[in-house]
Amino acid sequence: MTKTPDLVRVLEAAYAMDRAEGPWLRGIVDALRPALEDGLGMAAYVYDASRRPFVVREPILDCPLDAQGLGQLFAQSDESYVRGAWLAHAAATASETPGYADHPGVRDVFWPLGIRDVFVVNALDPVGVGCLVGAPLPRLRKLRDDERDLWDRVASHLRSALRLRLRLEALEGRRAEFPETSPSLADGTSGAVEAVLRRDGALEHAEDVAVGAREALREAVLGMDRARRTLRSRPRRVLTAWRALVRGRWTVVDDFEGEGSRYLVARANGPAARGPTLLSTRERQVLEQLVLGHTDKLVAYELGLSHSTVRVLITRARAKLGAKTRAELIEKFRAATTRR
């Protein structure tokens, strides 16, 4: 990465819950463009990965690729390629996917357009709905570890924001394109406001479930303020200060003004927790992330938990499912979740 991204602008665009989907996606693309674009434009879309080919709504294609070419790429991607690309990476270049060089869509669609690779920030939620932002590249590229870590965390925020948008749509009775995969409105994942906070982090109102998290929510609000005021030129510190999720349950977003004061709200937005019921909700949330190929470190960031807590949850889940290795744990959980 040669350009310093303005991640405050990116996160503000991601959590702009008052925007319709088209303007929302456009805002994210425009915020990422200065850091990612490499002469061939940008592309972005929201997709449903549970169907083949993918269902895509309102794609933005500010690049040589058009909708027909995108559809051809999907249609020519077999299950193995899909699992190695869209279902396996949060941040990557397309050429890192096994089989990329021999993919017929890459040869027939990308190469004639001068596209040799694509830098991808892919926010796929475990329920199967995702948001992908890509920058076509004129040459092959592989991400450095530090780049991948940074963009993985950006993808965590896009995932959190998309999940909350889908839940708010469900609450408001809007949109029905993805009914099978829309995130569950079960306990703790409703999108409802469970706390209201002032800009200084003081709690104005809290539902019972949020009262005990007063300090964690206060720190989240103050972290957002620090990111905006003093950390804009330090992207890694922005991502440390601004949390994608607080205690695995709340997404904190700007909301409204009243009597001269601006407020933020903490909305219930924990990831859906599918899988065998002998596992706790938090254990299932962690394993859902592992199935997507996320590292323990990224899972901790994604859920707003400590790294040590994630390790303990994985250990407990292995014992409950009788798995000897991490790989066996993931396979057992995937099989049990698929059957449900």
Annotate 164-233 with DSSP letters as a single string.
Answer: HHHHHHHHHT---SSTTTSPP-STT-S--EEEEEETTS-EEEE-HHHHTTHHHHHHHHHHHHHHHHH-TT
Task: Over range 142-148, report the average pLDDT.
Answer: 94
Could you read off the pLDDT of 171-193 as tens digits, one per residue? 777 555 554 454 444 444 688 99
Please state which of the four CATH numbers 3.30.450.40, 2.60.120.890, 3.40.50.1220, 3.30.540.10 is assigned to the domain occupying 7-168: 3.30.450.40
In this structure, is the dihedral angle defined by the CA atoms of residues 82, 38, 11 and 308, taken in order, positive or negative? positive
> Residue 84: what pLDDT?
87
- Residues 195-219 pLDDT 10s: 999 999 999 999 999 999 999 999 9
pLDDT given for residue 55 in this prediction: 85
Cβ contacts of 177 within 8 Å, gap of 6 or more: 48, 55, 57
Question: φ and ψ at 257, to 5 degrees?
Answer: -115, 145
For range 226-255, the mean pLDDT: 95
Q: Mean pLDDT over residues 302-328, rounded?
A: 94
pLDDT reported for residue 340: 45
Question: What are 39-92's pLDDT values in tens digits?
Answer: 999 999 999 988 777 889 889 999 999 999 999 998 899 888 988 888 888 999
| The residue to which tokens 């092959």 are assigned | 140
Radius of gyration of the chain (CA): 20
Task: In the chain, list all ranges with CATH 3.30.450.40.
Answer: 7-168
For CATH 1.10.10.10, the residue range(s) in the chain are: 281-339
Q: What CA–CA distances, in Å, run from 296 to 75, 205, 301, 321, 324?
A: 33, 33, 9, 18, 17
Q: What is the dihedral of CA 83, 89, 90, 96, to 10 degrees?
A: -130
- Chain centroid offset of residue 197 CA: 24
Rounded to an integer, what distance in angstroms lies between the CA atom of residue 135 and that of residue 32?
9
Q: Which amino acid is at 67?
A: A
What is the pLDDT confidence band of residue 170, given thresholds at 50, 70 and 90?
Answer: confident
pLDDT confidence band for 21 (50 / 70 / 90): very high
Q: What is the pLDDT of residue 238?
A: 97
Overall average pLDDT of the 316-329 stretch: 94
Name which CATH class applies to 281-339: mainly alpha
Q: Which tens digit of pLDDT belongs to each residue from 277-311?
A: 999 999 999 999 998 888 999 999 999 999 999 99
In this prediction, residue 2 has a pLDDT band, given cuts at 50, 70 and 90, of low
Phi-psi region of 51 (alpha: psi -120 to 50; beta: other; left: phi over 0): beta
> What whole-number distance in Å separates Cα of residue 336 and Cα of residue 200?
45
Give the pLDDT band of residue 274 (cuts 50, 70, 90): confident
Task: Compare 84 and 246 and report the one with higher pLDDT.
Answer: 246
pTM comes to 0.91
Distance CA 81, CA 98 (A): 7
